[in-house]
Structure 1
Amino acid sequence: MNLTEHYDKLYTESAAKITAGNYEIDHLIDDEKDQRFGISLVIRPDQNTKMNIQRFLTEVKAIEPDQYYYQDSDIHITVMSIISCYAGFELKEINTEAYIRKIAMALDKYRGFNIQFKGLTASTSCILLQGFLTETLNQIRDDLRAAFKNSTLQQSIDKRYTIQTAHATIMRFRDKLRNPARLISLIEQYRDFDFGTFTVDQIELVYNDWYQRERFVESLHIFKL
């Protein structure tokens, strides 16, 4: 996949829809009864990169104060959703140690690699950082797919879609936008902004809600690369 082309196409299509008022509001963000949980492997950016992200989000908040913004603790790249979030899933249903052993075997040969967050794209429901990855991340994903393919462990890898990017969601639409045109204009200014390059030296297995909010996330294991 050509990531630049993919992000550009997504942005062009979504920006036109947002400006026209044809965007999606997530009504479950503030629903305390939302019981969608799963387990995922995630990567978290370094502190310098998160500082750059929050500086940008401060500008967005001045235009759109009513939206949902990701805190530093919640910003992540999904390596793989092992069990995609669904209503009613509980950690007690699975043997966590069996998952840790399976994943550890798949990751054993890998060492650290870099990811760059450069520029922004959008969907009709959120703003995303454009992550650019080395081939290592996709090799890790392929090895995880192979490891779980013939396993009896509960999993839903690639059931929703086949993950190929290294994007990170940083803002979601939780309410009507006050000024869609100004929002898109600001995103345009950051379309090629370098938010930072960081070394991935660990991958974390977590039990998480749909939005990876810190108060719901439980760290299950950290795999050192």
Structure 2
Amino acid sequence: MNLEKHYNGLWENALQQFKAGAFELDPFLSSGDDDRFGLTLLFRPDEAVKESIGAFLQELRQVEPAQYYYPSSDLHVTVMSVISCHAGFRLSHIDRAAYINVLRECLADIKSFRVDFRGITASPSCIMVQGFPASGQLNDLRDKLRESFRKSSLQQTMDSRYILRTAHITAARFKEPLHNPAAFLDRLQANRSHSFGSTEVHHIELVYNDWYQRQAAVQNVCNFRLN
């Protein structure tokens, strides 16, 4: 996949929606009644990248303070949604050791890799920081995961929503109508090509999580160190 082209396509589609006032609001962010949990393999950007993203989000917050902005503790890149978040799922429903064993086999030959975070894109429901892996390690891992879990009898919902090929960080979500959409779009446009820095990925986490990966709701299941 040409990530640059893909991110640009997402942006152009979202921009048309934004200009028409068609922001997709997330009803769960304000309801307090969200029972969606899942199992996710992910990695987190380093502190310098988090700080850079935080500064960008502060710009947005000054224009639209009522939207949902991810705290630095929750910023992440999804390697794979092993079990996509859905109502009623609990960690006790699965054999954790069996999942860890499959993941260890998949990760055995995966070396550490760099991801460059450059520019932002969007969907009608959220703002994302664009990630560009410097090698093919991430997609190699994803392909191994798909093959290994397909051969296993373990519960999984990989690629059930879409086939994951990007390395983006979701940074903000819309939870109520915007009060100053023109100024908000100006801030987005100003950061379309902004460099947020790079992260060398040495660790990957398996977590039990809610939809938003909120730190208070996340339970670490296993940490994996890459070669």
Which residue in the other structure is 2:13 paired with? 13
Unaligned runs of 5+ in 2: none
| Paired residue total | 225
Which residue in the other structure is 2:109 paired with? 109
Maintained 8 Å contact 2:117/2:196: yes
Task: Write the letter of the residue equivalent to 1:200.
Answer: V
Which residue in the other structure is 2:140 paired with? 139
**Can you list the C-alpha shifts for 1:20-60, whole angstroms capped at 9, x where unaligned?**
21110001113322100010001100000000001111110
Q: Aligned with 2:29: secondary structure?
A: coil
Which residue in the other structure is 1:200 paired with? 201
Unaligned runs of 5+ in 1: none
Alignment TM-score, normalising by the size of structure 1: 0.98
* Separation in structure 1 between the aligned mates of residue 67 and residue 159 of structure 2, nearest angstrom: 29
* Separation in structure 1 between the aligned mates of residue 186 and residue 5 of structure 2, nearest angstrom: 20
Q: Percent identity?
A: 45
Once the two structures are superposed, the pairs formed by residues 31-46 of structure 1 within 5 Å of their partners are 31-46=31-46
Cα shift at 1:75: 0.4
* Separation in structure 2 between the aligned mates of residue 16 and residue 156 of structure 1, nearest angstrom: 31
* Separation in structure 1 between the aligned mates of residue 25 and residue 74 of structure 2, nearest angstrom: 20
Which residue in the other structure is 1:210 paired with? 211
Alignment TM-score, normalising by the size of structure 2: 0.97
* Separation in structure 2 between the aligned mates of residue 158 and residue 10 of structure 1, nearest angstrom: 18
Task: Write the letter of the residue equivalent to 2:217.
Answer: F
Which residue in the other structure is 2:164 paired with? 163
**Can you list the C-alpha shifts for 1:93-117, whole angstroms capped at 9, x where unaligned?**
1011110011001001112100011
- Residue 29 (1) aligns with residue 26 (2): no
Which residue in the other structure is 1:83 paired with? 83
Q: Aligned with 1:92: secondary structure?
A: helix
Runs of 4+ in 1 over 3 A off after TM superposition: none
Once the two structures are superposed, the pairs formed by residues 46-65 of structure 1 within 5 Å of their partners are 46-65=46-65
